[in-house]
Amino acid sequence: MPSEFVRGLQCRLCGKEYPLEALNFCTEDFGPLEVEYNYDAIGKALSRAKIETRPPTMWRYHELLPLDGEPTVGAQVGFTPLVRANRLAEALGVEKLWIKNDAVNFPTLSFKDRVVAVALSKARELGFKTVGCASTGNLANSVAANAAAAGLESYILIPADLERSKIVGTNIYGAKVIGVNGTYDQVNRLCTQIAFKYGWGFVNINLRPFYAEGSKTFGYEIAEQLGWRIPQHVVCPMAGGSLIGKIHKAFGELAKLGLVKDSPCKMYGAQATGCNPITDAVKNNREQHKPIRKPNTIAKSLAIGDPADGFFAAKLMRETGGWGEDVSDAEIIEAMILLGRTEGIFAETAGGVTVAVARKLLEQGRIPRDEEIVLCITGNGLKTQDAVAEALERPVVIEPNLAAFELLVEGAAAREPALV
């Protein structure tokens, strides 16, 4: 039984309608398909009070997600902390700063568990037994873990040079992990052929319209956790360019349903300079991005040279009055350390990108220092330890006695002036 809240799929370019099937592009113009909802019915079913009584997971907004029945994958995903980040605010010279922290999202420590929970629940409704993805790492972890827990077979294709912990953190779940000698875009093309030939459900390919909707919950939670308000500025990392658009869509939906007051939010996209197709398009006032053939950055999770939603992400930044900016690997590392030392949050390289870009945009005067800013932290630093390991001081090693400790602490302090 299809849900009364979901109408079907619709092409984002020409508006042609399609049934709720595993299809991600319009047969007329190859435009991406998006889920279309019946907001009148949702509006009658949902209220703030109703949502607030539900368990603290992403499914408290289930009327706004494209499933026919109850979710069967990822029942506990979401409702991660929105942290008031006063110490980072002071370091950046701003007044009102929050971090939405999906570094601690369950079960695989990135926001990808949100998209996978929807995609795999939908895959089961559509009858798929084998699922898969093309991934820059976090999606690999999440599809493998959630497929294992759901008893689905999974094929995960990744660029062969991914971080070791992202590979181990996929293999552990018994997925079939295939490293491909090539870039993410080449992996993605191959997966499109595999999905078509074998009839499998690839979460970010033929299941993409459903998958993408999961990211909206990141936005619903920000608004609810702010006390049912839309923030003025959101800085979001971009790879395929999907998450940033879905956060904004989430705010718009809440406003349309009367759950928050409609107020503008400027969206800022963050990338690494070594793979910056979307921010490059924004900064150079181009509608279409130029694909980056060989990404080269430590932010491997964001290294998509030809982003599927690049056009829409760039348009969104322009239309909301936000901006796009990118940062070097050195700036990413510095920002990861700054976030750790001010807020006690260990984010992955993508988090370093977000914090460093926020700092840059503040310095450029593009984000005002006295308004409300939310930074999107989307992945965990334990997965990309090599990126910062060399930049951190090694621990001092002492003999196991108090004298050695005293010498270290007091001796060093006493000697300090002499050392300068």
Ligand X SMILES: Cc1ncc(COP(=O)(O)O)c(C=O)c1O
List interacting residues with Zn ion (CB under 5 A). Answer: 11, 13-14, 16, 26, 28-29, 31
Taking the complex as a whole, the smallest distance from the CB of residue 350 to ligand X amounts, in Å, to 4
Position among 242, 271, 276, 297 found at the interface with ligand X (CB under 6 A):
242
- Binding to ligand X by residue 136, rule CB under 6 A? yes
| Contact window for ligand X (CB under 6 A) among 63-71, 238-246, 337-345, 367-375 | 238-246
At residue 407, what are phi and psi to the nearest 5 degrees?
-60, -40
192 token code pair: 């499109």
Instruction: Residue 243: name its binding partner from Zn ion, ligand X, none (Cβ under 5 to 8 Å by kind).
Output: ligand X
- Binding to ligand X by residue 110, rule CB under 6 A? yes
- Binding to ligand X by residue 158, rule CB under 6 A? no
CA–CA separation, 62 and 46 (whole Å): 10
Position among 217, 271, 297, 378 found at the interface with ligand X (CB under 6 A):
378
- Binding to ligand X by residue 238, rule CB under 6 A? yes
The angle that helices 243-256 and 310-320 make with each other, rounded to 10 degrees, is: 50
CA–CA separation, 317 and 296 (whole Å): 24
Of 28 and 95, which CB lies nearer to Zn ion in the complex structure?
Answer: 28
Taking the complex as a whole, the smallest distance from the CB of residue 410 to ligand X amounts, in Å, to 43
| Cα distances (Å, whole numbers) of residue 164 to 207, 243, 254, 351 | 27, 25, 40, 19
CA–CA separation, 38 and 40 (whole Å): 6
- Binding to ligand X by residue 274, rule CB under 6 A? no
Instruction: Residue 379: name its binding partner from ligand X, Zn ion, none (Cβ under 5 to 8 Å by kind).
Output: ligand X
Taking the complex as a whole, the smallest distance from the CB of residue 352 to ligand X amounts, in Å, to 11
> DSSP string of 151-174?
T-EEEEEEETT--HHHHHHHHTTT
Cβ(303)–Cβ(239) below 8 Å: yes
| Contact window for ligand X (CB under 6 A) among 71-79, 131-139, 189-197, 317-325 | 131-139
- Binding to ligand X by residue 271, rule CB under 6 A? no
- Binding to ligand X by residue 214, rule CB under 6 A? no
- What residues between 295 and 354 interact with ligand X by CB under 6 A? 301-302, 348, 350
| Cα distances (Å, whole numbers) of residue 243 to 142, 193, 212 | 16, 25, 7
Instruction: Residue 238: name its binding partner from Zn ion, ligand X, none (Cβ under 5 to 8 Å by kind).
Output: ligand X
Of 28 and 406, which CB lies nearer to Zn ion in the complex structure?
Answer: 28
- Binding to ligand X by residue 239, rule CB under 6 A? yes
Instruction: Residue 142: name its binding partner from ligand X, Zn ion, none (Cβ under 5 to 8 Å by kind).
Output: none
Instruction: Residue 75: name its binding partner from ligand X, Zn ion, none (Cβ under 5 to 8 Å by kind).
Output: none
Taking the complex as a whole, the smallest distance from the CB of residue 23 to Zn ion amounts, in Å, to 12
At position 152, the amino acid (one-letter code) is: L
CB contact set of 109 (below 8 Å; sequence gap of 6+): 103, 141, 379, 380, 382, 383
At position 343, the amino acid (one-letter code) is: E
Omega before residue 231 within 30° of 0, cis: no
Cβ(60)–Cβ(71) below 8 Å: no
Interaction site with ligand X (CB under 6 A):
110, 136, 138-139, 237-243, 301-302, 348, 350, 378-379
